[in-house]
A and B are shown apart, each in its own frame.
Chain A
Amino acid sequence: MNRIVELNQVSRAFGRIQALERLDLRLETGEVLGLLGHNGAGKSTTIKLILGILAATAGAVRVLGEDPRGRGAGRLRMATGYLPENVSFYDNLTGREVLQYFARLKRAPTRAVGELLERVGLREAAHRRVRTYSKGMRQRLGLAQALLGHPRLLLLDEPTVGLDPMATRDVYDMIDTLRDRGTGVILCSHVLPGVERHIDRVAILGRGRLLASGTIDALREQAGLPLHIRVRITGANGAQRQALGANALETRVEDDGTIVLSIRPECKMAALQALLAAPGVEDLSVETPTLETLYAHFDGLDGRREQPHA
Chain B
Amino acid sequence: MREVLIVAGKEFRDGLRNRWVLAITLAFALLAVALAWFGAAASGEVGFTQVSTTIVSLATLAVFLIPLIALMLAYDSIVGEDEGGTLLLLMSYPLSRVALLSGKFCGHAAVLGLSTILGFGAAAAVIVLVDAGAAVHDLSGPFALFIGSAVLLGWAFLALAYVISVVTREKARAAGLALLTWFLFVLVYDLALLGLLVGTEGRVDGGLFRVLLLLNPTDVFRLVNLTGFEEMAAASGMLSVMAGQGFPITGLLAILAAWTIVPLAAAAGLFAARRT
Which A residues lie at the B interface, using CB under 8 A? 14, 48, 51, 53-54, 73-75, 77-78, 80, 82, 84-90, 92-93, 101-102, 104-107, 145
Contact = CB atoms under 8 A, between A and B. Distances in A.
Contacts of A88: 84-86
Given A87-B85, A89-B86, A51 B91 contact: yes
B246 to A, nearest CB: 48
A82 B90 CA distance: 10
Contact of A51 (B7, B14, B92): B92
Given A14-B275, A84-B92, A106-B93, 9 more contacts: A51-B91, A54-B275, A75-B94, A77-B92, A84-B88, A87-B88, A101-B6, A105-B7, A107-B94
Interface of B: 3, 6-7, 10, 14, 17-18, 84-86, 88-95, 275-276
17 contacts: A51-B91, A53-B88, A53-B276, A77-B92, A78-B94, A84-B89, A87-B86, A87-B88, A87-B89, A88-B85, A88-B86, A89-B86, A90-B14, A90-B84, A92-B18, A93-B14, A105-B6
A152 B250 CA distance: 54
B272 to A, nearest CB: 13
Contact of B92 (A14, A80, A85, A92): A80
Given A53-B276, A101-B6, A105-B6, A90 B86 contact: yes
Contacts of A87: 84-86, 88-89
Nearest to A155: B92
B88 A102 contact: no
Given A78-B94, A105-B95, A48 B276 contact: yes
Contacts of A73: 94
Contacts of B86: 87-90
A74 B94 CA distance: 5
A145 B84 CA distance: 15
B94 A105 contact: yes
A85 B10 CA distance: 24
Nearest to A105: B93
Contacts of A75: 94
A106 B94 CA distance: 6
Contacts of B95: 105
The list of the 6 closest CB pairs from A to B, nearest first, reads: A87-B85, A77-B94, A82-B92, A74-B94, A51-B92, A88-B84
Most buried by B among A86, A89, A92, A101: A101
A51 B275 CA distance: 14
Contacts of B276: 48, 53-54
B18 A77 contact: no
Contacts of A77: 92-94
A53 B92 contact: yes
Contacts of A90: 14, 84, 86
Nearest to A106: B93
